[in-house]
Amino acid sequence: MKRKIILNLAMSLDGFIADVEGKYEWITGDGSHECDTKEAFTFDTFLDHVDTIVMGRKAFEVCDPKLFKDQHIIVATSGVRKDLEHVCFIAEDPVRHVNKLLEATGKDIWIFGGGILADAFIKADMIDEYIIGIIPVILGEGIPLFLGSHDPRHLHLKRYYMQEGIAILQYTRRQTEMTEGA
């Protein structure tokens, strides 16, 4: 089976993936279970299907790489850094680098963030699946998910979940787009 590139992240109701300081503490539910769906999105199940995580330098600096000990982490950065145990720092174009990974067999590839990195993959039309958690908060300002100025992407809602006021929407490319480009 072909590896998929999955953009999976959370955003505020007004479209931000991090606050102005690049922090994520606001990513929590509202504590209410009255609208929860029977089926729940589980992060561990998602991670079981991923062997590679791609993220920008700023996202790497605020995450705990120990949470992803079973995945290979690729960090896109313009600076030179020494690789760590399961972390590789690349200065080359991350889209080109990941495109090479698609030739090898393996599990799915997770585009973790940030906005500039995600935008590069959206513009290159490489995202196979979008899993977006909409957090019940309006930040007012921060780091946006979608930077704009790219061609429209028509998607199909494959699955949805509600958990503590968080709407988790799982989209794939519409079938017509997938077959037209084949």
58-68 pLDDT, tens per residue? 888 888 888 89
Q: What is the mean pLDDT of the chain?
A: 91
Structure tokens at 132: 């977006």
**Confidence at residue 15, expressed as pLDDT on a 0 to 100 scale:** 94
3-state secondary structure of 36: coil
pLDDT, average across residues 127-135: 97
| 179 — pLDDT class (breaks 50, 70, 90) | very low
Q: Is the pLDDT of residue 38 over 60?
A: yes
% of the chain residues with pLDDT over 90: 69
Which residues are CB-contacts of 113 (< 8 A; sequence separation ≥ 6)?
9, 17, 18, 55, 56, 59
d(C-alpha 71, C-alpha 53), whole Å: 7
Higher pLDDT, 63 or 119: 119
* 35's tokens: 């609208």
CA distances from 162 to 41, 46, 117, 123, 126 (A): 8, 16, 27, 29, 27
pLDDT of 176: 61
With a CB cutoff of 8 Å and minimum separation 6, the contacts of 147 are 115, 116, 119
| Whole-angstrom distance, CA of residue 178 vs CA of residue 182 | 7
Task: Give the DSSP letter string of 68-85.
Answer: GTTSEEEEE-SS----BT
Q: Mean pLDDT throughout 55-84?
A: 88
Q: Identify which of 27, 89, 23, 80 has the alpha carbon closest to the alpha carbon of residue 54.
A: 89
pTM of the model: 0.89
pLDDT higher than threshold 80 for residue 180: no
Q: Tell me the domain boundaries of the chain.
A: 1-6+44-130
The yes/no answer on whether domain 1-6+44-130 falls in CATH 3.30.420.60 is no
pLDDT attached to residue 182: 46
- Lowest average pLDDT, out of 77-86, 102-111, 136-145, goes to 77-86
